[in-house]
């Protein structure tokens, strides 16, 4: 029995959480750097990433709803061979730790960029320590929900500001259409390919697959509500993708061609000056801080949920094993943000690209779970399988093209 349109809107939730999760400091930074450096030419990467996110997040939510379990539990339960199961578990855990620590590094760096946009003389180390301690306290005592709602509201407001500014900036609509539908990749060795892969990695967030499956399984108890979850996914992530494109368009319209190299929050604020004027720096600073802090909590908890699920542990936020996972991710993110943060925008870009490299692994497991025979009529049909395979192949190709640029940038961060 299908729900009315009003009921579908009332059931919006897990998909909106995913959209809020990927519009973090990584998205703001990567989209701004892309627009400022390459104009509108990388819009196709965001269009591809948004469509791919909808397809794989829909699979994850459907698996969660029909099975009543998270993605981690599904991966563990659906591999009958014990040896293969443990190989899969190890692969997932490594990917989750590497990916979430990379994201956490970007989140903390984003928070630092936000504060330094308005207080440029404050050193990185004290900011990272304060952000880490505040996030630790909020998660340890479980009082993060109210904080997260407030911070998410700020991020949403910033997204709306970018959307309005995109129209107010009088962009080149012909170039926008060409950028959306004519894929172009820069020459081998160029940072452009790193940027393109970063745009994909900042949108199709691997840990969001676990977050969405768990959230959907809790929100929708009846498999017949899969259509409601699909509506939530398409609407929420579609709007998130449009906001990401608006950020890139603002940067392309207001920074590209000025020879400005985006290295900090003040540089990013140039994209909002047509609408906000001198207040643009404050908006970027507050937005990056809110996005970084809220995403730092989300990334840490998502890693804990994913590892607990795939290992079959008891999933409770008060469990010491659960806490140990998010503590490792949070501390590692703070340490790496300080250790590698001499070029913060470059660090965030590399962090997003690292997740894109890990994406095909998680996408494969989602595709595998979504084809489970026990899902009955809700298992993947031919279109979803073909689309999933095409996305994985394209992502693998781009990651292969990106590898030399990624390693060069990573080496520069470590050595510099």
What string of DSSP letters covers 38-93?
Answer: HTTTTHHHHHHHHHHHHHHHHHHHHHHHHHSS-HHHHHHHT--SHHHHHHHHHHHH
Whole-number Å distance between alpha carbons of 128 and 178: 40
Q: pTM (2 decimals)?
A: 0.90
**CA geometry: angle 215, 245, 391, nearest 5 deg:** 60
Contact 30, 200 (CB under 8 A): no
Average pLDDT rounded to a whole number, residues 382-400: 93
What is the pLDDT at residue 36? 93
* Side-chain-side CA neighbours of residue 61 (13 Å): 32
Please tell me the least confidently modeled range out of 66-75, 246-255, 337-346, 374-383.
Answer: 337-346
CA nearest 89: which of 311, 328, 304, 332? Answer: 311
Percent of the chain with pLDDT over 90: 47
Question: Rounded to the nearest 10 degrees, what angle do helices 173-181 and 43-67 cross at?
Answer: 50
Per-chain mean pLDDT for the chain: 88
81-98: per-residue pLDDT in tens? 889 999 999 998 998 898
Whole-number Å distance between alpha carbons of 310 and 312: 6
Does residue 315 have a pLDDT over 70? no
Contact 180, 44 (CB under 8 A): yes
Q: The domain that contains 366 carries what CATH number?
A: 1.20.1740.10
| Residue 94 C-alpha from the chain's centroid | 18
What is the pLDDT at residue 19? 84
| Residue 30 C-alpha from the chain's centroid | 11
What is the pLDDT at residue 316? 73
Q: With residue 82 as reference, give the H or E element that holds it.
A: helix 82-118
Average pLDDT rounded to a whole number, residues 230-249: 94
357-370: per-residue pLDDT in tens? 888 999 999 999 99
Band (pLDDT 50/70/90 cuts) for residue 35 is very high
Average pLDDT rounded to a whole number, residues 89-116: 91
CA nearest 39: which of 331, 252, 327, 321? Answer: 252
Q: How many helices (H) and strands (E) does the chain have?
A: 18, 0
Whole-number Å distance between alpha carbons of 299 and 152: 14
Percent of the chain with pLDDT over 70: 96
What is the pLDDT at residue 2? 58
Q: Which domain holds residue 269?
A: 5-414
Average pLDDT rounded to a whole number, residues 128-144: 86
Band (pLDDT 50/70/90 cuts) for residue 401 is confident
Burial level of 80, CB count in 10 A (0-12/13-18/19+)?
A: exposed
Contact 311, 106 (CB under 8 A): no
DSSP structure class, residue 186: P
Whole-number Å distance between alpha carbons of 96 and 76: 15
What is the pLDDT at residue 390? 96
The CA radius of gyration of the chain, in Å to the nearest whole number, is 20
Three-class SS state of 8: helix
Q: Token digits for 67?
A: 């099975």
Average pLDDT rounded to a whole number, residues 30-59: 95
Average pLDDT rounded to a whole number, residues 3-8: 77
163-220: per-residue pLDDT in tens? 999 999 999 999 999 999 999 876 655 678 889 999 998 898 888 898 889 888 888 8
Polymer length of the chain: 416
Band (pLDDT 50/70/90 cuts) for residue 268 is very high
Please tell me the least confidently modeled range out of 75-79, 85-89, 268-272, 412-416.
Answer: 412-416
What is the pLDDT at residue 194? 87
Does residue 20 have a pLDDT over 70? yes
Contact 240, 54 (CB under 8 A): no
- Split into its structural domains, the chain has a count of 1
């Amino acid at each position: 029995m299908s729900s009315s349109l009003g009921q579908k809107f009332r059931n919006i939730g897990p998909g909106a959480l995913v959209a809020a999760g990927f519009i973090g400091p990584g998205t703001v930074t990567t989209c701004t750097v892309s627009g400022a450096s390459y104009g509108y030419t990388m819009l196709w990467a965001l269009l591809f990433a948004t469509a791919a996110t909808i397809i794989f997040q829909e699979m994850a939510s459907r698996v969660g709803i029909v099975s009543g379990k998270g993605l981690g539990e599904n991966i563990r339960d659906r591999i009958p061979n014990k040896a293969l199961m443990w190989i899969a578990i190890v692969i997932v855990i490594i990917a989750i730790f590497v990916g979430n620590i990379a994201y956490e590094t970007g989140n903390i760096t984003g928070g630092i960029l936000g504060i330094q946009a308005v207080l440029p003389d404050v050193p990185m180390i004290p900011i990272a320590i304060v952000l880490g301690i505040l996030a630790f306290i909020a998660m340890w005592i479980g009082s993060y929900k109210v904080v997260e709602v407030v911070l998410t509201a700020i991020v949403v407001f910033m997204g709306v500001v970018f959307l309005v500014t995109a129209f107010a900036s009088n962009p080149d609509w012909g170039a926008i259409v060409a950028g959306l539908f004519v894929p172009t990749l820069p020459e081998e060795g160029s940072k452009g390919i790193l940027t393109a892969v970063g745009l994909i990695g900042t949108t199709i967030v691997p840990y969001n697959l676990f977050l969405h499956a768990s959230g959907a399984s809790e929100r929708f108890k009846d498999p017949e509500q899969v259509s409601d979850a699909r509506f939530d996914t398409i609407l929420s992530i579609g709007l998130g993708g449009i906001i990401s494109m608006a950020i890139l368009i603002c940067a392309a319209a207001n920074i590209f061609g000025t020879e400005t190299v985006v290295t900090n929050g003040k540089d990013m604020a140039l994209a909002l000056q047509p609408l906000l004027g001198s207040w643009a720096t404050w908006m970027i600073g507050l937005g990056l801080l809110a996005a970084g802090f809220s995403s730092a909590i989300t990334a840490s908890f998502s890693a804990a949920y994913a590892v607990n699920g795939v290992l079959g542990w008891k999933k409770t936020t008060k469990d010491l094993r659960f806490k140990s996972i998010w503590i490792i991710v949070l501390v590692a993110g703070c340490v790496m943000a300080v250790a590698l943060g001499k070029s913060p925008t470059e660090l965030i870009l590399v962090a997003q690209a690292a997740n894109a490299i890990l994406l095909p692994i998680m996408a494969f497991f989602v595709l595998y779970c979504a084809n489970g025979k026990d899902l009955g009529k809700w298992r993947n049909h031919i279109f979803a399988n073909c689309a999933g395979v095409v996305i994985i192949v394209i992502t693998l190709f781009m990651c292969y093209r990106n590898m030399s640029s990624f390693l060069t940038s990573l080496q520069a961060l470590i050595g510099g």
